[in-house]
């Protein structure tokens, strides 16, 4: 069965650039002289999507093997399976983004090719309950691929054996992560296996020009002084918007089957930049963890009493590092457009495969991904939370 996509194109809206970076830029205070990660690491790719492609291929996804994928997703989670010629079948999720086991069974039955792999995602870096899904996969002889793209997973060699429940990244036969979502580095995607040695792959090291470009990008971030966003600008900007209502974008459904523009086949076997790995080894990880957790809690407190929205996960479990703060809003157009016009950094997965999952349909436009990274300043947080409060209250 071929996919169709719900799509959203904001290009006619004229949104300004976000006033606060969505991902952490490199700043001097994040660097430490001690190497905090070991040099031995899993396979390194330029992005998690290319690590996923390798995992799907090892699992047998292709013209004769399908992929079960969470119905709430971004395109780059599906692209690698489409690129391999595999059928993709979205499975339902519950409101707290756990896999719905009945939905999984139904998705497996609906596949016209036998499903070979299941992608399980720890959304926003919060551990989702993987054990029942792992049991089900074993019973069906389906390869479990653990998507830790939103999670901070340190290399297996540095993890301590202390914890009792399985830690994020320890369960899937294959697991992938996206270091660039946490570390202030230009690229990165990793792949490891928990129960088999990875086959030997042919990876191409980036050339000197690419390394120099990555280094320049990092140095530019180190040198840039960003003007803090101004609280007092919120009111006049909203007033101007009221007086000149803007375009609200285009929302439509497309036939699918092709990979998205974010997938570059030429990068499939490129390894990540050395400069990215150097930055990862020299990032102060404990500061990153502590700051992200604290910014996440700050968001949860700031939205707790606001009308028209709520934290998707108000409580942050111990032992995890959040990637972003997901805010669920009741009436997405009413808040999305003014916030984006103010320059609030919001990501959404509004380009998503059509499925029968009501949760994913609602979250497609209704969940705003807001930054909680370690490079946010107190002023950034004060401005973002004030903008959200002002827009949600409507006065």
State the SS3 of 172-198.
CCEEEECHHHCCCCCCEEEEEECCCCC
CB atoms under 10 Å from CB of 239, counted, come to: 9
Shortest reach from residue 194's CB to ligand PLP, in Å: 18
| Mask for 68-97, x = binds ligand PLP (CB under 6 A) | ------x-xx--------------------
Using CB under 6 A as the binding rule, whether residue 147 contacts ligand PLP is answered as yes
| Mask for 92-131, x = binds ligand PLP (CB under 6 A) | -----------------------------x----------
The nearer residue to ligand PLP, 47 or 341, going by C-beta atoms, is: 47
Using CB under 6 A as the binding rule, whether residue 271 contacts ligand PLP is answered as no
Binding positions for ligand PLP, 183-222, rule CB under 6 A: 189
Of 6, 19, 44, 49, the one binding ligand PLP (CB under 6 A) is 49
What are residue 288's phi and psi, to 5 degrees? Answer: -60, -45
Using CB under 6 A as the binding rule, whether residue 149 contacts ligand PLP is answered as yes
The nearer residue to ligand PLP, 123 or 336, going by C-beta atoms, is: 123
Q: Which residues pair with residue 254 across a beta bridge?
A: 5
Give 395: exposed, middle or buried? Use CB within 10 Å, 0-12, 13-18, 19+: exposed
Tell me if residue 260 falls in helix, strand or coil.
coil
Shortest reach from residue 121's CB to ligand PLP, in Å: 5
Number of residues that bind ligand PLP (CB under 6 A): 12
The nearer residue to ligand PLP, 14 or 201, going by C-beta atoms, is: 201
Task: Note the helical H segments in 17-151.
Answer: 48-59, 75-83, 101-110, 131-140
Query: What distance in Å separates the CA atoms of residue 343 and residue 354, rounded to the nearest whole number?
Result: 29
Shortest reach from residue 227's CB to ligand PLP, in Å: 28
Using CB under 6 A as the binding rule, whether residue 341 contacts ligand PLP is answered as no
The nearer residue to ligand PLP, 88 or 392, going by C-beta atoms, is: 88
Shortest reach from residue 286's CB to ligand PLP, in Å: 23
Close Cβ partners of 41 (under 8 Å, ≥ 6 residues apart): 155, 190, 277
Helix (H) or strand (E) holding 217: helix 208-223
Close Cβ partners of 130 (under 8 Å, ≥ 6 residues apart): 120, 122, 144, 146, 166, 171, 172
What are residue 118's phi and psi, to 5 degrees? Answer: -125, 130
Shortest reach from residue 35's CB to ligand PLP, in Å: 23
Residues that bind ligand PLP (CB under 6 A): 47-49, 74, 76-77, 121, 147, 149-150, 178, 189
């Amino acid at each position: 069965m071929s996919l169709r996509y719900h799509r959203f194109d904001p290009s006619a809206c004229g949104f300004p650039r976000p006033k606060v970076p969505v991902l952490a830029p490199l700043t001097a205070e994040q660097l430490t002289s001690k190497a905090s990660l070991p040099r031995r690491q899993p396979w390194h790719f330029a992005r998690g999507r290319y690590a996923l492609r390798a995992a799907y291929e090892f699992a047998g996804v292709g013209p004769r093997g399908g992929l079960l994928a969470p119905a709430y997703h971004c395109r780059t989670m599906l692209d690698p399976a489409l690129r391999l010629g595999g059928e993709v079948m979205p499975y339902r999720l519950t409101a707290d983004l756990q896999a719905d086991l009945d939905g999984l069974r139904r998705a497996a039955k609906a596949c016209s090719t036998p499903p070979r792999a299941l992608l399980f995602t720890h959304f926003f870096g919060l551990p989702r309950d993987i054990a029942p899904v792992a049991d089900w996969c074993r019973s069906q002889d389906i390869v479990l691929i653990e998507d830790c793209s939103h999670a901070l997973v340190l290399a297996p060699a540095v993890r301590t054996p202390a914890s009792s429940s399985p830690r994020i990244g320890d369960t899937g036969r294959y697991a992938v992560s996206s270091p660039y979502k946490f570390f202030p580095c230009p690229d990165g995607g990793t792949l490891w296996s928990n129960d088999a040695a990875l086959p030997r792959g042919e990876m191409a090291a980036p050339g000197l020009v690419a390394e120099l470009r990555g280094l320049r990008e990092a140095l530019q971030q180190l040198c840039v002084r960003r003007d803090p966003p101004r609280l007092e600008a919120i009111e006049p900007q909203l007033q101007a918007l009221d007086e000149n209502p803007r375009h609200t974008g285009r929302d439509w459904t497309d036939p699918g089957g092709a990979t998205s523009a974010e997938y570059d086949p030429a990068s499939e076997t490129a390894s990540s930049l050395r400069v990215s790995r150097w930055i990862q080894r020299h990032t102060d990880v404990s500061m990153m963890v502590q700051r992200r957790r604290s910014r996440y809690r700050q968001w949860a407190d700031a939205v707790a009493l606001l009308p028209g929205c709520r934290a998707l996960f108000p409580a942050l479990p111990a032992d995890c590092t959040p990637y972003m703060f997901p805010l669920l809003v009741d009436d997405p157009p009413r808040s999305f457009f003014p916030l984006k016009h103010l320059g609030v950094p919001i990501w959404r997965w509004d380009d998503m495969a059509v499925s029968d999952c009501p949760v994913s349909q609602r979250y497609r436009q209704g969940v705003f991904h807001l930054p909680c990274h370690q490079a946010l300043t107190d002023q950034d947080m004060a401005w973002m939370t004030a903008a959200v409060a002002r827009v949600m209250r409507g006065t």
